[in-house]
Structure 1
Amino acid sequence: MPKCALPNDNGFLALVETSVESCSGVIVITASDYEYLMGFTQVTAIEATAVFSGAFSLVFVSGFAMSYAVKMAVKLIKIL
């Protein structure tokens, strides 16, 4: 659960009972909340590999489809 932390007289951060919405200092979260949040924001190696290979495959497939369409158009023009 997020808490509000403000600097005290000694310069250290201290948790205060101010709501998070009206906090003018630093908002701190627990380690488990941080891990949960980072699970959605960090890109893993498997995800990066999947996106790269998918995009690379898309380039080859679209290139093949375009060249096939051009080949068919050339054949149609030669027939006419």
Structure 2
Amino acid sequence: MQLFLATSSGLLTAVSENSGWRIQNRALPGRHVSSVIAREGVILAGTSDGIFRSADGGQSWAEASRGLAVRRVRWLAFHPGVS
């Protein structure tokens, strides 16, 4: 199982092990990540600088904020039936 953790200094990915959780990856360093959601292989991270998207488990990230008038993102949610 993977767990994505939004922090004030980036996004952490933790994996479940017998003795608890182990940090596997650190992404978006230096960015205040306020929210993160994942569905069907896509991860979205909301930051004070906009939305970032990963389609490879968090190994690479691209900005996905085009068209947003306000870039500061506090919460994200997937809408049922919309991909």
TM-based fold match above 0.5 = no
Greater C-alpha Rg: 1
TM-score band by shorter chain is under 0.3
TM-score by length of 1: 0.22
- TM-score between both structures, scaled by the size of structure 2: 0.21
More strand by share: 2
